[in-house]
Amino acid sequence: MGVRELSPTSPAGKWLGFVAAVWVQAISGNNYTFSNYSDALKSLMALTQLELNNLSVAKDVGKAFGILAGLASDRLPTPVILLIGSVEGFIGYGVQWLVVSQRIRPLPYWQMSIFLCMGGNSTTWMNTAILVTCMRNFRKNRGPVSGILKGYVGLSTAIFTDLCTALFSDSPSKFLLMLAIIPAVVCLGAIIFLREVPPTTTPAQEEQESKYFNVFNFVAVIIALYLLAFDTTGSHGRVLSVLFASGLLLLLASPLSVPLYSAYQNWTRSGSNSNPDVEGQVQEPLLVQESKPEPEPEQIKPEVDTTRVETGDVVETNYRKPVIGEDHTIFEAFQTLDFWILFISFLCGVGTGLAVMNNMGQMGLALGYVDVSMFVSLTSIFGFFGRIGSGSVSEYFLKKAGTPRPLWNAASQILMAVGYIVLAIALPGSLYIGSIVVGICYGVRLAVTVPTASELFGLKYYGLIYNILILNLPLGSFLFSGLLAGLLYDSQATTTADGGNTCVGAHCYRLVFVIMALACVVGFGLDVLLAIRTKSLYSKIHASKKSRKSGENQKKSIKG
């Protein structure tokens, strides 16, 4: 087995690139870890809760500049986009580390806001490079791709938190040092392997992809359970913690088995007289030349209007606007009602979820918990289950019955509303239940929206459309975390001796949870409406997948 089998354009190289993408996603969720060091910033800078929440908004505002990453994704190669993200993250989190470790004096508030913004923006470059490239490489399995990649983003919070707890005794400064160094190193490694390559063209190849994605799903679930076991078994000694960290790194390396197996399969067939297909499906040369992939409804280009205007020797052709399911520019997408339904429903889900993540430290303290790392990890791990489960489940029901993906978003919204009601009641253990429910539903919302946007508006300008939707993160953070949670918390808090403020008791966030539950009910209604409006599109996608599968089975029966 040589270098040729693992080149970026080979079948094994394609999977090696996906492994690199998984690793980048496993370290790119640093934007969700603010609760792990927010209390240190609040103390060092003598901030009120509103000021601290506005700092958390600043990191989310960084995602608003993801538009730049979206524009760049259509013009720059994947390695350049990854390089920009890695450098920006190193600077943004590096300066925060200098402050929290007290190597430098706390910077003015506006300067700290800029560096938090840089840290938040760095992830948009990483995520854009990964998602756009992988959605194009594996366009016939968008649900699993989105679920796996977004699932690892969800796990990244727990990965960082548990590694820091195991190795550095839960030190906020060392945690920030990890956030600065590790993503930069991993991105530099991914630059070597991740490339855009031609997608599969036959149902047989698509089925082979699905089998490999099952391996990635299995490994991801094992990692999630491994992290959960560490979080729920209490304190650990130094030796056990080091063993845990070593085991976690081995599990993160285990997806390499997929490209290595693929390379071995290609190598063993390299001497065969038959003409091997991309993933090992042997076909006769004439069939390979004659077979043409059928375009899926979501990839059909806008048709040319038959109306032609002749002026002298010039013939002008009028093009109609694309319909849902065809490639849209961002301005064409803006003109559709479906885009704004998706945008606002996304705001209701991710905006309220971010408010919980950003305020988890203060929510735990208000209810009498000294250490909130457990709740941060629970939200992260169950967010993973929501992401990876919804990606595969939504893909299965789309192929099986043409079920519109927005229905899964609707289900997550109503469940999230129930979670907020549980948190508002504040019974014993409600923070555990609320953390789990919010994590699952936030994960579903992210994982399902990614392929939904590509199916409604196409992949040609997907990088920019995706980043426009991600504007909901800073917008939702500002509305629900900066304004709603910050103002209502401060109205209940008392001033402390160091000039800050604090609130203890279930009343601190009760009204916040009630308002966020109502927002999720609104999101539920919008998602149901979008599912109704796009039912015909998903019926066409289902019919296309079914006909392609039937055609492949007929070819196999003829050859048999």
Least confident of 1-15, 194-208, 414-428: 1-15
Nearest to 197 by CA among 134, 259, 260, 255: 134
What is the value of pTM for the model shown?
0.73
Tens of pLDDT along 343-367? 999 999 999 998 898 888 788 888 8
The rounded distance, in Å, linking the Cα atoms of 265 and 259 is 10
Q: If you search the block for the tokens 């986009």, which residue do you land on?
A: 81
The rounded distance, in Å, linking the Cα atoms of 265 and 253 is 20
Query: Quick check: 382 pLDDT over 90?
Result: no
Length of the chain measured in residues: 560
pLDDT on residue 295? 46
Check: CB of residue 75 under 8 Å from CB of residue 20.
no
Check: CB of residue 180 under 8 Å from CB of residue 240.
no
Query: Mean of the per-residue pLDDT values for the chain?
Result: 82
Residue 336 — very low, low, confident or very high, per pLDDT cuts 50/70/90? very high
37: amino acid identity, one letter: Y
400: amino acid identity, one letter: K
Tens of pLDDT along 41-84? 888 888 887 788 788 878 877 877 888 888 888 788 889 999 99
Residue ranges of domains in the chain, CATH in brackets: 7-265 (1.20.1250.20), 324-543 (1.20.1250.20)
The token pair that represents 165 in the structure block? 């707890």
